[in-house]
Amino acid sequence: MNIFMLYLDPGSGSYLAQIVAAAALGIVFFFRTIKLYILTFFSFIKRGFKKEKKEETKTSE
């Protein structure tokens, strides 16, 4: 029967908690930034199509 006696002192525990929190926040901000880039990219494309349609209607009239 194997019994593992693990000890985690307060300094190591707080350091480990800080690493986990920083990694989680880093992942959240990373994906939020990617999401914003994608949304702005598609909003520029959408605006471009709207401008082209307006120009086509003006020239055809």
List per-residue pLDDT tens for the chain, 61 residues long: 677 777 778 888 899 999 999 999 999 999 999 999 999 888 887 777 666 566 556 555 5
Q: In the chain, how many domains are there?
A: 1
Q: Supply the pLDDT for residue 61.
A: 53
> Which range of residues forms the domain containing residue 49?
32-61
The token duo for 1 is 């029967």
The token duo for 11 is 């300094």
Taking the C-alpha atoms of residue 61 and residue 29, their distance in angstroms, rounded to an integer, is: 48
Q: Supply the pLDDT for residue 58.
A: 58
Q: Supply the pLDDT for residue 22.
A: 97
Write down the pTM of the prediction.
Answer: 0.56
Q: Supply the pLDDT for residue 49.
A: 65
Q: Supply the pLDDT for residue 42.
A: 85
Would residue 38 count as lying in a domain? yes
**Number of other residues whose CB lies within 10 A of the CB of residue 35:** 10
Would residue 37 count as lying in a domain? yes
Would residue 46 count as lying in a domain? yes
